[in-house]
Amino acid sequence: MSPPSARLQTKPVITCLKTFLISYSLIFWFTGVILLAVGVWGKVNLEFDFLLSSDQGTNAPYVLIGTGAIIIIFGLFGCFATCRGSPWMLKLYAMFLVLVFLAELVAGISGFIFRHEIKAVLQGAYKKAESVYSGKGNEDLDRIQRTLQCCGEKNYTSWANTDYFKHEGIPNSCCNMTAGGNCTSAELKDLNTAASVVYQRGCFSLMTTTLEANLGIIAGISFGIAFFQLIGIFLACCLSRYITNNQYEMV
């Protein structure tokens, strides 16, 4: 056992490590809150159920909600383990951060490598949702077109290949109200006249263009968040080692 003087000298170091680790854990917890909020917002407001219900769909909102909830729990656990000064809790916290780091790293690399395949899958799901559109129970496509001010997958002519267009024409959600369009039934059933009253931009191309334009920023943020876990791993391991080696007792 180290002499009391030596142990006393470690107290400022441990106090400093604890302060940094608690600050880190709070930031980590806050990122979980953000992920949870984004996931809930994406599900409630965007509700891309045509993708979620597709055989090749994505469960992105649910993944964000689940990941955010787990991070919130372990962020609080990290704060508790730090205040408690328990070496085994700190090691468990570090192990969780390692798993988060590896998962984020693999997800980021996979998403970048297979970005074209992912885009093709989502495009196929969008086309399928458009082809089975009936006007009832398809609020998701209508909401997307109104929110993004777009029409159809590539543009408004994409609707010409659907059964809905043959009977009803282009959906009313494509109507460009800002341009003063009347969007009568006759106009929506004729592609030539519809061109002057509906949105011109395609929905899927608009979403992917925006995403690809910011791909570098998104990738940078993603890898930055991933490597941020290394700070927590280092702090947790150092604090656990100092507490163990110097037999530091929490008061």
What is the tens place of the pLDDT at every residue in 32-47? 888 788 777 766 655 4
Give the SS3 label for residue 198: strand
Residue corresponding to tokens 């592609």 = 191
Q: Is the pTM of this model over 0.85?
A: no
Who wins on pLDDT, 140 or 89? 89
**What is the average pLDDT across 173-180?**
77
243 touches 87 (CB < 8 A): yes
Residue span of the structural domain in which 163 resides: 4-249
Cα separation, 35 vs 32, whole angstroms: 5
- Residue 196's Cβ-side half-sphere holds a number of Cα atoms within 13 Å equal to 7
Q: CA-based Rg of the chain, rounded to a whole angstrom?
A: 26
Give the chain's domain count.
1
Token pair of 100 as six digits = 């988060």
Q: How far is CA 195 from CA 132, 171, 183, in A?
A: 23, 13, 10
**What is the average pLDDT across 86-105?**
87
- Of 155, 154, 204, the closest CA to residue 176 belongs to 155
- 95 falls in which pLDDT band (50, 70, 90)? very high
